[in-house]
């Protein structure tokens, strides 16, 4: 089960990232987000590849089609496993980004999987309706974004564990579903609005779980990671 847990490198420097990687040797899949990437650049990707770790490059691309296609082409050349793009960039951007990955994958390598952000887990139904003025109910909107991604040729989507069962049923078994907002019962919710336990999220149909602070901010990060893996294996 440890291969299905993605741990975020949500730190502000390359040195801190390396220290965290060294502290958690059993973690095989790491997420590189905006803070670390802006701080260290692509060098952190090279470090993770050298250590034979899998990489979730979570930069949430959102721009005009030509720009996101160029960004995805560059990311694909690093051989990362997952790349995120906002579904709200639109179908043309999604399609061009997917083609860019396919045409820029190094020879003999497995293409990166492009996955779409449906709704950020920090957003509540109220935020969607009153702040973003989106008239759809939150689960319906997440499903529409996931279907747009699938129709555009993408490999999967990022969604709250509360939407994952419906997306799995509609989008099929091969569609990759990555779930942040996953918290063990013994961990604080933090700023996530729509959360679920790791075991329940896997049972609902999640492919991968993104679990950060319950592990990285724990007094004993190694023990916290092992405890989650044990709970999933029960």
Question: Whole-angstrom Cα distance, residue 66 to residue 209?
Answer: 31
Q: Where are the domains of the chain?
A: 2-228
Catalytic-role residue among 31, 60, 91, 199 = 60
Q: Are 145 and 137 in contact (CB under 8 A)?
A: no
Annotated active-site residue 150? The verdict is: no
Half-sphere exposure of 99 (CA within 13 A, CB side): 10
Render pLDDT for 164-196 as a digit per residue (tens, 0 to 9): 999 999 999 999 999 998 999 887 655 555 578
pLDDT of residue 194: 57
168, 160, 140: which is closest to 209 by C-alpha?
Answer: 160
The series of mean pLDDT values per 10 residues for the chain, 234 residues long, is 94 97 98 96 96 98 98 96 98 98 93 96 91 95 98 97 96 97 78 75 97 95 96 90
pLDDT of residue 185: 86
pLDDT of residue 141: 97
pLDDT of residue 187: 75
CATH number corresponding to 2-228: 3.20.20.70
């Amino acid at each position: 089960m440890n291969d299905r847990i993605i741990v975020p490198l949500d730190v502000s420097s390359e040195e801190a990232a390396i220290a965290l990687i060294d502290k958690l040797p059993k973690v095989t899949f790491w997420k590189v987000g905006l803070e670390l990437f802006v701080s260290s650049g692509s060098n952190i990707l090279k470090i993770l590849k050298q250590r034979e770790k899998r990489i979730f490059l979570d930069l949430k691309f959102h721009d005009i089609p030509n720009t996101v296609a160029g960004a995805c082409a560059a990311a694909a050349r690093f051989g990362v496993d997952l790349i995120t793009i906002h579904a709200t960039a639109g179908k043309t951007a999604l399609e061009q980004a997917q083609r860019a990955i396919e045409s820029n994958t190094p020879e003999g390598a497995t293409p990166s999987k492009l996955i779409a952000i449906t709704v950020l887990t920090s957003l509540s139904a109220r935020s969607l309706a009153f702040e973003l003025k989106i008239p759809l109910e939150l689960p319906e909107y997440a499903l529409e974004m996931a279907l747009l991604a699938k129709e555009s040729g993408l490999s999967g989507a990022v969604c709250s564990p509360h939407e994952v069962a419906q997306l799995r049923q509609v989008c099929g078994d091969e569609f990759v579903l990555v779930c942040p907002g996953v918290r063990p019962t013994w961990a604080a919710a933090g700023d996530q609005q729509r959360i679920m336990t790791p075991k329940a999220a896997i049972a609902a149909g999640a492919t991968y779980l993104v679990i950060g602070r319950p592990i990285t901010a724990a007094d004993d990060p190694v023990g916290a990671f092992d405890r989650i893996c044990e709970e999933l294996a029960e």
